[in-house]
Amino acid sequence: MNLVPIATSDYVGMVLLVALLFSSHIRRANNNRLEFKLFTAISILTMIGCAVDFLVWYADGRDGILMKVIQYVGNTYCFGVNPIFISSWCLYEDIKLYHSQKRVKRIYTYAFIPAIILVVIALVNNFVPIIYYFDETNTYHRLPLSYMYYAVDFGYVIFSVIILKLYEKKFGKVRFFPLYLMVGPILLGCILQALFYGVSLIWVSMAVGLTAIYMSLQNEFSYLDTLTSLYNRAYMDYQLESLPRGANLGGIMIDVDHFKSINDTFGHSAGDEALIDVARVITFAKPDKAIAIRFAGDEFILLIKGTTEKELQRIVQSVRDEVDMFNETEHRQYKLSFSIGYSIYNRDKDSIDEFLRHMDDNMYEEKERRHSEMD
């Protein structure tokens, strides 16, 4: 057995994951977001798998108690963690998209069953060889039932694609989540390792997939507002600059009325809570195709491609209805109210500055009108 290719692939996988785990974004996000705790756990399991994979190949066919222990413990780990990885990936994807613990409990109580069964089989194999065995020279031989692991992996990959497609059908296209960059290397690695004994690609494939997803997350971090989790102004600039010639884009600017008094009366923590509530109201009120952005301070913008003035008016009314419902049901120490202005941007006729100024002017006209009515 030529160990050099195996050592090379496992080393590459370990280096990628070590660099990923020491990233400042992962360490910081890992402190308070479940999805990143799960992502970190998956990455650690995979990094260990890369090291263990090399050790079991090194011990294959070598005499001695230590080599036998490495073979049994290492292969148990590899076969046991493999279904844990792929099922946990589906869980991570679900949490990332839906942010619903109720949904997780409802679905993954059953979705984890195949993975749990495979973990049990990996443990039982130490006593009754059913997926692999070692001969008198401590050489590894896989049995036909081992291919069940590849089949279950493939099933979970399909499940992850279904999760994404159903989400996109309901809520629109997902940005910064290139699923194919994750599942593509894993599928290819599984197929090649299943077809050619002596090829070790699964663990490095997992490492490559995780790294690809992580690189996409870095783009997401740079475009997200840390307080509200809405997109930030940098993402708005990107959307405006990438708008094709001839396309139109609707914009709705939302300003929180009397926000300074919320800060002054109840404190800055209440002000932060109010901004998070505003983001939630806007998210619930907007159509799926609209992009919600925290523009600056207490100002927010919705961008809607290919829209009409009538549709913008409907969205504005939806926002008003949603904030009224919030005030009636949430019983915060403050009440939210918005001043709203909208405009339509045509790249062939208007500049970006003119588009923003039209929204801002319309919003301030309404703000002055509302204030004069209150007086």
**Which residues, other chains included, contact 111 with Cβ-Cβ below 8 Å and sequence gap of 6+?**
87, 90, 91, 159
- What band does 179 get if pLDDT is binned at 50, 70 and 90? confident
% of the chain surpassing 90 pLDDT: 50
320, amino acid identity: R
Looking at 16-25, 91-100, 262-271, which range is the least confident one?
A: 16-25
pLDDT reading at 371 higher than 70: no
> In what helix (H) or strand (E) does residue 38 lie, and over which residues does it extend?
helix 34-59
Q: Count H helices, E strands: the chain?
A: 14, 6
pLDDT recorded at residue 5 = 83
- What is 230-295 written as a DSSP string? SB-HHHHHHHHHTPPTT-EEEEEEEEETTHHHHHHHH-HHHHHHHHHHHHHHHHHHS-TT-EEEEE
- What band does 124 get if pLDDT is binned at 50, 70 and 90? very high
Each residue's pLDDT tens digit, 288-307:
788 899 998 899 999 998 88
Architecture of domain 3-223: Up-down Bundle (1.20)
Are the folds of 3-223 and 233-374 the same?
no
pLDDT reading at 30 higher than 50: no
pLDDT recorded at residue 133 = 95
- What band does 151 get if pLDDT is binned at 50, 70 and 90? very high
Each residue's pLDDT tens digit, 267-287:
989 999 999 999 999 988 998
- What band does 37 get if pLDDT is binned at 50, 70 and 90? confident
Superfamily of domain 233-374: Reverse transcriptase/Diguanylate cyclase domain (3.30.70.270)
pLDDT recorded at residue 258 = 87
pLDDT reading at 209 higher than 60: yes
Helices within 134-267 (DSSP H only): 147-171, 179-195, 202-223, 233-241, 259-266
Two structure tokens written together for 374: 């209150």
Which segment, 76-85, 195-204, 260-269, 329-338, is predicted with the most confidence on average? 76-85
- CA atoms of 79 and 317, how far apart (whole Å): 55
> Angle formed by the axes of helices 259-266 and 268-285, to 10°?
140
Give the residue, 73 or 103, on which the prediction is more confident: 73
The backbone torsions φ and ψ at residue 148, rounded to the nearest 5 degrees and listed phi first, read -60, -30
Each residue's pLDDT tens digit, 228-264:
888 999 989 888 888 887 778 899 999 999 898 998 8
Domain residue extents for the chain: 3-223, 233-374
| pTM for the full predicted model | 0.71
